[in-house]
Amino acid sequence: MSAKLLILSALLLGAASAPLHAQPSPRMIKTFNDWGVYTYRNGSGSNCYVLTMAKDAQPTTVQHGDNFFLIAPKSSGSDLYPQAVMGYDLKEGSQMRATINGEVFLLTARGNGGWTAQESRDAALISALKSGSSMTLEAVSARGTQTRYTFSLSGVTAALAEADRCR
């Protein structure tokens, strides 16, 4: 994990909520192979999430920007939700396809992000992330470009355990 990842993480978090001056600044706690654990303060305390960047992006003939996969606590604080954040806008009404160990999870695309199409699949997706070695994520850009990313899952289990300790 690099300083670039920490800065991009802060931008991701900042873009999701209130005015910039009121934004919490995420701080990297620790890295576990290809996953980082980040913390930020909110009104009621600290939150932690885990994040990784794509290792491979296809096709190589287009600019992809920075593409992340993260797992963060739900606002209720009791469960986690997985989320893809892309470096470009996704095709409106499209679905993203995450494949781990042959199991497919559909994500609903909106803006530059994607979430499980069925919230009831969040736990199954997180379980698959923990048991797999890599994830392939397919998406369609707003321009209609078919894209494909490979994310390493090395370190996700340890990163989630660390994030759980700070919740």
Complete DSSP assignment for the chain: --HHHHHHHHHHHHHTSS-GGGPPPPEEEEEETTEEEEEEEETTEEEEEEEEE-SEEE-TTS-----EEEEEE-TTSSSEEEEEE-SSPBPTT-EEEEEETTEEEEEEEETTEEEESSGGGHHHHHHHHHH-SEEEEEEEBTT--EEEEEEE-TTHHHHHHHHHHT-
Tens of pLDDT along 138-161?
Answer: 999 999 999 999 999 999 999 999
Please give the pLDDT value at position 82. 97
**What angle do the packed helices 156-165 and 122-131 form, to 10 degrees?**
120
Q: Report the half-sphere exposure of 42 (CA within 13 A, side-chain side).
A: 14
Which range of residues forms the domain containing residue 52?
Answer: 3-165
Please give the pLDDT value at position 45. 77
> pLDDT truncated to tens, each residue of the chain (167 aa)?
443 443 344 444 444 433 344 556 889 999 999 999 999 887 777 889 999 999 999 999 999 999 999 999 887 766 899 999 999 999 999 999 999 999 999 999 999 999 998 999 999 999 999 999 999 999 999 999 999 999 999 999 999 999 998 86
- Return the CATH number at 16: 2.60.40.1880
Count of domains in the chain? 1
pTM, rounded to two decimals: 0.83
